[in-house]
Amino acid sequence: YEYFNHSNLNSTSETTAYLVSSGLMGLCFMIGVPGNIGVILFILLRFKKVNFTAHLMLNLAAADILCLITLPVWIYSVLDNIDRVTCKFFTALVYCSAYSSVITVTMLSVYRCLRIRHPQLWSRMSKRRKRVLLISSWALALLFSCPGVLTQEIVKVESKMECERILKSEAILIVALLESLLGFFVPFTIMLTSYYCLYKTATQGAFRHRHRPTKLVTRIVIVFFIFWAPHQIIKLEEICAAFLQSETVLSFISDIAGSLTFINSCVNPFLYAFSSKSLHKRKNESDTDD
């Protein structure tokens, strides 16, 4: 949904990329939406008092649903034209939900690390502050979404109008570069740091029985990287090409790489909810238990 550059595609490769990306998006919609709804119902119906991990799960599932419900529009845009209002609105949903998902996963990694390494420090966090953290994640996601939404326009590609991001000025390119750093590389670095701290703690004798959180964070880091790295690498390549005024090399798979980020929203329900030990505890666990 961004940074597409079809000028150096032939019709065959373009059609193939569209078919593959549309197929992936359709599959993500059919699996991801019911899966995330199931996660929300599972948490709300099973637990009277959910802990902070469960709140993060709910936040993540809501973000993933918001992202996945836009997929029919993007599939339709492959077949037919969409107007500017539709382009802007659904782009805003995608950006906001994607950033919220990344922020929530990062918070989950940091939270796991604090709960294991500094339990007394986290226990001082009041419920009000925890709610502020959750609300702030959406506010921050909305803020990060603004540059992308403002630069998304309807562009004529051959005989078809498409929703694409316009990177004309050097200032916009710098903003796009900062988006990649803040939206992927910084969160990924935080996840790796949290994982390292968890692993280091879990290998200590006193904490070996709490090795499960380390395994969960390992899955988080690996899945996040697998599904987001291709899209971000292509984005960086296209930004650098725009700076240098040269042709892009990887743009022919940009649609497919973008589709992979939606797959992450399908995997999340199974990875974060049903693999989490906290969601299999007794129903009436307190907010401080995890």
- 183 CA to centre of own chain: 9
The DSSP call for residue 152 is E
The 10 Å CB-count burial string (b at 16+, else e) for 200-219 is ebbeeeebeeeeebbebbee
Q: Which distant-in-sequence residues (6+ apart) come within 8 Å of 92 by Cβ?
A: 145, 149
pLDDT one-digit tens code per residue, 106-120: 888 888 888 877 777
pLDDT one-digit tens code per residue, 64-106: 999 899 888 888 777 677 788 888 888 889 889 989 988 988 8
**One digit per residue, pLDDT tens: the chain, 290 residues?**
443 333 333 455 556 767 777 777 788 889 889 988 988 888 788 765 667 877 888 888 899 999 899 888 888 777 677 788 888 888 889 889 989 988 988 888 888 888 877 777 777 777 888 888 889 999 999 998 888 888 888 777 666 677 777 777 788 888 888 888 888 888 888 988 887 887 777 665 555 545 555 566 677 678 888 888 888 888 888 888 877 777 767 666 676 777 777 888 888 777 765 555 545 554 444 444 44
What is the predicted pLDDT for the residue at 65?
A: 92
Hey, where are the domains in the chain? Answer: 11-269
Task: Please give the class, per CATH, of domain 11-269.
Answer: mainly alpha
What is the predicted pLDDT for the residue at 13?
A: 57
Provide the angle, in degrees to the nearest 10, between the axes of the packed helices 254-268 and 84-117.
50
The Cα 270–Cα 60 span in angstroms is 12
The 10 Å CB-count burial string (b at 16+, else e) for 222-251 is ebbeebbebbbebbbbbbebbeeeeebebb
- 58 CA to centre of own chain: 14
Four-residue CA torsion sign, 158, 26, 142, 115: negative
The Cα 222–Cα 205 span in angstroms is 26
What is the predicted pLDDT for the residue at 139?
A: 92
Tokens standing for residue 28: 């993500």
